[in-house]
Amino acid sequence: RGRPRRPQGEGERQGEQPPDQGEQRPDQREQRPDQRERGRGRGPRPNRRNQQGDRRQDRPPPTPEEREARRVAREKRLAARAASVPAITYPDLPVSAVKDDIAAAIRDHQVVIIAGETGSGKTTQIPKVCLELGRGIAGQIGHTQPRRIAARSVAERLAEELDVDLGKQVGYQVRFTDESTRDTLVKVMTDGILLNELQRDRDLRRYDTIIIDEAHERSLNIDFVLGYLKQLLPRRPDLKVIVTSATIDPERFAAHFTDRDGKPAPIIEVSGRTYPVEIRYRPLVRVEPAKTPGKPDVETEIDQVTGICEAVEELWTEGGAAERAREGSGEDILVFLSGEREIRDAADALEGMNLPGTEILPLFGRLSAAEQHRVFSRHSGRRVVLATNVAETSLTVPGIRYVVDAGTARISRYSQRTKVQRLPIEPISRASANQRSGRCGRVSDGIAIRLYSEADHDARPEFTDPEILRTNLASVILQMTALGLGDIARFPFVEAPDSRMVTDGLRLLHELHAIDPEEKDPRRRLTDVGRRIARLPVDPRLARMMLAAVDEGALREVMTIVAALSIQDVRERPLEKQAQADQQHARFKDEKSDFVTLLNLWKYLRKQQKELSGSAFRRMCKNEYLYYLRIREWQDLVGQLTTTMRELDLEPNSRPATSDQVHRALLTGLLSQIGLYDRDKREYLGARGARFAIQPGSALRRSSPEWVMSAELVETTRLWARTNAETDPAWIEQAGAHLLKRSYSEPHWSRKRAGAVATERVTLYGVPLVTDRQVGYGSID
Ligand code: CDP
Ligand code: MG
């Protein structure tokens, strides 16, 4: 039962319905809410938990004595929770000043929107207001953050303010770490964790209050949670929802959460204390008027790193700042950049400037807890903190007097044309720029330097598009289908996605065999494969590969590859050292497959890790251009995938898989990313007429095999295939059986076969797999 059968024809898929789907489903739906609360593994999921759930149902109903005993136990537990609430005091912050208004609004309404400047105390004080109202006892107070790094930091701060140990009354949960227990009153988590819990706890019974923090970020997760909560509220009249956001369009949330009478949810605006911030524009492109009249103006462009160094220099000498810093007043500089690479380049350059008594500190998501703490700790001397978006609204870096804004961020985009998701660096919106400069006007007046022109600023869009309008929706649709939410077109999104994006998402799910498009009943549309994909915390394509790998006996290898593809490349290629880095990495290279290269690298790292001490291993990584933090993430993710697969009763293979087994499994997730070499044009013909080239750096660049599959198509000036392997049209025909188009021509009598035959042509997404196969005419449907 634990092994998924390979999805094939219609007939077989029927048989794949888990045995508990048919009859048991209706009476599961008729459970009373109180029963439902206890039966954890509700819903037709083919796993152990569900079997237990079924067994639970077979148990006789509790006797009156048992029921009484349970009631007493529950009351005892609630009393213990209530007694564990620590004493609550409020620091002097704008939110504290209106805490009574907030408390009254929460008491009187099911949903409250709270908007306020960053740093006004929304994140840290509102959970305390809830505790004081007596919430967090009957159920936990769930508090979501868009980012891992913020979740941990917020929980630490809350625990500190409440003077409790982290992990007791205040806990947190992020991917890979759970520092919370059943007794936790306030649980801070990423919104992804909350979404995951929905799979097991559809009514979110473990919470009596949910705070959706940073809602203005409008990630796909946030939008989905907000839509889900809207549907849930009538079923959970006891549940309170608090949505907090920076002062960016709070009316949209209020209008989303209308009450029964159609009245929008109340908005409490917290007036922040902000000081004036002087904005200086220092564009990287500098125009000087031509010396000779009539000649064009002279344009010079400096690179970003130079621009940052110049800006830091300018702020360094600003009106005695250095002297004031020595006296201990906050004179630190916060620099906003688009990503880790940019941060490290800038850090290197700033270190080279030799600023006396100055510390250069990076701040981004992948840092370890200790590295993160340094940024928030008390310090003497001056600091330059180099941060990604994370410092825009979710984390408050103390002591900031100056901001340098490079004006860009990595924003994921889905290309409708090529069906490729990209992560380009783009100019930020005006709202983001405003948030960034606002970071230096919290405790006194400040100065913000923008590395772009005022005209450029004014031409930018007001807000960043919410993610739902610019991302592939396959995984959201899958989650929704798995949760039985029915038609995505009727789901109450804050903003509805484009119908073409929905179509593309559905198409991908069909390609992966996750849904059956022929099935009219939306509750039965999910296949067994789809149900399992929904449980796996990776991209649906990658999840599909893992399931196929179980059948192939290649799960161990494929999990390693999938984890590598889910994170950023662990191989570093610093700009000035590309040749050296490439030389180091060449040792792992497999001639036929970039996936095997990843496996080679993995084996090497395991071996080195066994032989070297922790610090020697880190040193080795640095010398060999391998990124230690990402390696750690790679290993964590493999561990997590192993655990999740075990929960589905799927064990990794003990014997090493062959290359064919690995690649056949990978292919199941890449059916629309295959390519056939076009010798004339020296490029590949891909799905739906797309054309791509093998990226330099891929092992296949030189060999250009006839058939390839690519795990990453990246669109820049053209479409590039980044991580590739050779593949086999016979495999494609087998794995893509549900997607093939067949046509026939030239029927004629074959004397040899003593029957009519025709020439068959088989295509997948327009790529010809077979062009001249002779088939018996009688067998053609
Ligand atoms: O959520 P919001 O941006 O409104 O503010 P907050 O994160 O609750 O922070 C309120 C205040 O607490 C800030 O002004 C920070 O100075 C301070 N804080 C801190 O010093 N250290 C932290 N780890 C978190 C907050
Ligand atoms: Mg906050």
Ligand nearest to the CA of 215: 2
Q: Above 70 in pLDDT, residue 41?
A: no
**Spacing, Cα 58 to ligand 2 middle (Å):** 47
Check pocket membership of 723 for ligand 1, CB cut-off 6 A.
Answer: no
Ligand nearest to the CA of 394: 2
* Residue ID of nearest Cα to ligand 1 atom 10: 121
pLDDT tens figures, 645-657: 999 999 999 999 9
For a mutational test of ligand 1's pocket, the pick from 90, 99, 124, i.e. the residue with the most ligand atoms closer than 8 A to its C-beta, is: 124
pLDDT tens figures, 86-133: 999 999 999 999 999 999 999 999 999 999 988 899 999 999 999 999
Per-residue pLDDT at 4: 38
Index of the ligand 1 atom closest to the CA of residue 116: 4
Index of the ligand 1 atom closest to the CA of residue 121: 8
Per-residue pLDDT at 28: 34
**Spacing, Cα 96 to ligand 2 middle (Å):** 14
- What share of the chain in percent tops pLDDT 90? 60
Index of the ligand 1 atom closest to the CA of residue 270: 4
Check pocket membership of 441 for ligand 1, CB cut-off 6 A.
Answer: no
- What share of the chain in percent tops pLDDT 70? 90
Index of the ligand 1 atom closest to the CA of residue 124: 8
Tell me the range of 166-180, 527-541, 598-612, 622-636 where mean pLDDT is highest: 598-612
For the segment 2-29, the average pLDDT, to the nearest whole number, is: 34
Check pocket membership of 220 for ligand 1, CB cut-off 6 A.
Answer: no
Q: What letter would DSSP give residue 692?
A: E
Check pocket membership of 122 for ligand 1, CB cut-off 6 A.
Answer: yes
Run of H or E residues at 251 = helix 250-256
Per-residue pLDDT at 206: 97
Check pocket membership of 540 for ligand 1, CB cut-off 6 A.
Answer: no
- Long-range contacts for 318-323 (Cβ within 8 Å, ≥24 apart)? 318/402, 318/447, 321/401, 321/402, 322/382
Ligand nearest to the CA of 158: 1
pLDDT band at 575 (very low <50, low <70, confident <90, very high): low
Q: Above 90 in pLDDT, residue 138?
A: yes
Ligand nearest to the CA of 125: 1
**Spacing, Cα 124 to ligand 2 middle (Å):** 7
Index of the ligand 1 atom closest to the CA of residue 153: 23
Question: What number of CA atoms fall less than 13 Å from residue 598's CA on the CB side?
Answer: 30
Index of the ligand 1 atom closest to the CA of residue 394: 3
Query: For residues 26 and 31, what is the distance between their CA atoms, to the nearest angstrom?
Result: 9
Index of the ligand 1 atom closest to the CA of residue 272: 4
Per-residue pLDDT at 327: 64
For the segment 191-197, the average pLDDT, to the nearest whole number, is: 91
**Interface pTM (ipTM) of the complex?**
0.98
* Residue ID of nearest Cα to ligand 1 atom 25: 396
pLDDT band at 606 (very low <50, low <70, confident <90, very high): very high
Check pocket membership of 219 for ligand 1, CB cut-off 6 A.
Answer: no
Q: Above 80 in pLDDT, residue 17?
A: no
**Spacing, Cα 143 to ligand 2 middle (Å):** 11
Check pocket membership of 153 for ligand 1, CB cut-off 6 A.
Answer: yes
- Long-range contacts for 420-428 (Cβ within 8 Å, ≥24 apart)? 420/713, 420/714, 420/715, 420/719, 421/471, 421/472, 422/714, 422/715, 425/338, 425/339, 427/452, 427/456, 427/460, 428/460, 428/464
3-state secondary structure of 153: helix
pLDDT band at 565 (very low <50, low <70, confident <90, very high): very high
pTM: 0.79
* Residue ID of nearest Cα to ligand 1 atom 8: 121
**Spacing, Cα 716 to ligand 1 middle (Å):** 39
**Spacing, Cα 247 to ligand 2 middle (Å):** 11
Per-residue pLDDT at 169: 97
Check pocket membership of 376 for ligand 1, CB cut-off 6 A.
Answer: yes
Ligand nearest to the CA of 153: 1
Specify whether the backbone of 237 is left (phi greater than 0), alpha (psi in -120 to 50) or beta. Answer: alpha
Run of H or E residues at 414 = strand 413-415
Run of H or E residues at 674 = strand 674-678
Per-residue pLDDT at 538: 87
Are β-strands 267-270 and 277-281 bridged in parallel, bridged antiparallel, or unpaired?
A: unpaired
3-state secondary structure of 229: helix
**Spacing, Cα 81 to ligand 1 middle (Å):** 27
**Spacing, Cα 396 to ligand 2 middle (Å):** 8
* Residue ID of nearest Cα to ligand 1 atom 24: 157
Check pocket membership of 439 for ligand 1, CB cut-off 6 A.
Answer: no
Residues in the chain: 781
Tell me the range of 292-301, 393-402, 656-665 where mean pLDDT is highest: 656-665
pLDDT band at 161 (very low <50, low <70, confident <90, very high): very high
For the segment 582-598, the average pLDDT, to the nearest whole number, is: 95
Q: Above 90 in pLDDT, residue 781?
A: no
3-state secondary structure of 231: helix
Check pocket membership of 120 for ligand 1, CB cut-off 6 A.
Answer: yes
Query: For residues 96 and 109, what is the distance between their CA atoms, to the nearest angstrom?
Result: 20
Check pocket membership of 398 for ligand 1, CB cut-off 6 A.
Answer: yes
685 or 420, which is more confident?
685
Check pocket membership of 157 for ligand 1, CB cut-off 6 A.
Answer: yes
Mean pLDDT of the chain: 87
pLDDT tens figures, 696-748: 889 999 999 999 999 988 877 788 999 999 999 999 999 999 999 999 988 88
**Spacing, Cα 379 to ligand 2 middle (Å):** 23
**Spacing, Cα 568 to ligand 1 middle (Å):** 30
Per-residue pLDDT at 775: 87
Check pocket membership of 96 for ligand 1, CB cut-off 6 A.
Answer: no
Index of the ligand 1 atom closest to the CA of residue 120: 4
**Spacing, Cα 206 to ligand 2 middle (Å):** 24
Query: For residues 762 and 750, what is the distance between their CA atoms, to the nearest angstrom?
Result: 21
Per-residue pLDDT at 777: 78
Residues surrounding ion ligand 2 at CB below 5 Å: 123
Check pocket membership of 123 for ligand 1, CB cut-off 6 A.
Answer: yes
For the segment 245-262, the average pLDDT, to the nearest whole number, is: 90
**Spacing, Cα 333 to ligand 2 middle (Å):** 20
Per-residue pLDDT at 748: 84
For a mutational test of ligand 1's pocket, the pick from 153, 374, 396, i.e. the residue with the most ligand atoms closer than 8 A to its C-beta, is: 396
Query: For residues 3 and 550, what is the distance between their CA atoms, to the nearest angstrom?
Result: 7
Specify whether the backbone of 278 is left (phi greater than 0), alpha (psi in -120 to 50) or beta. Answer: beta
**Spacing, Cα 439 to ligand 1 middle (Å):** 12
Contact (CB, 8 A) for 351 and 401: no
Per-residue pLDDT at 326: 63
Ligand nearest to the CA of 216: 2
In sequence order, the 6+-apart residues with CB closer than 8 A to the CB of 307 are: 282, 284, 406, 451
For the segment 434-438, the average pLDDT, to the nearest whole number, is: 92
Per-residue pLDDT at 57: 56
Index of the ligand 1 atom closest to the CA of residue 244: 1
Ligand nearest to the CA of 127: 1
What is the separation, in whole angstroms, between the first and last Cα of the chain?
A: 34
**Spacing, Cα 435 to ligand 2 middle (Å):** 12
For the segment 598-609, the average pLDDT, to the nearest whole number, is: 97
Q: Above 70 in pLDDT, residue 469?
A: yes
Question: From the CB of residue 772, how many other CB atoms can be counted at a distance below 10 Å?
Answer: 10
**Spacing, Cα 184 to ligand 1 middle (Å):** 22
Lowest-confidence region among 208-222, 357-371, 503-517: 357-371
Check pocket membership of 93 for ligand 1, CB cut-off 6 A.
Answer: yes
Q: Above 60 in pLDDT, residue 351?
A: yes
**Spacing, Cα 129 to ligand 1 middle (Å):** 15
Q: Above 50 in pLDDT, residue 691?
A: yes
Check pocket membership of 119 for ligand 1, CB cut-off 6 A.
Answer: yes
Per-residue pLDDT at 325: 62
pLDDT band at 21 (very low <50, low <70, confident <90, very high): very low
Are β-strands 767-776 and 755-764 bridged in parallel, bridged antiparallel, or unpaired?
A: antiparallel
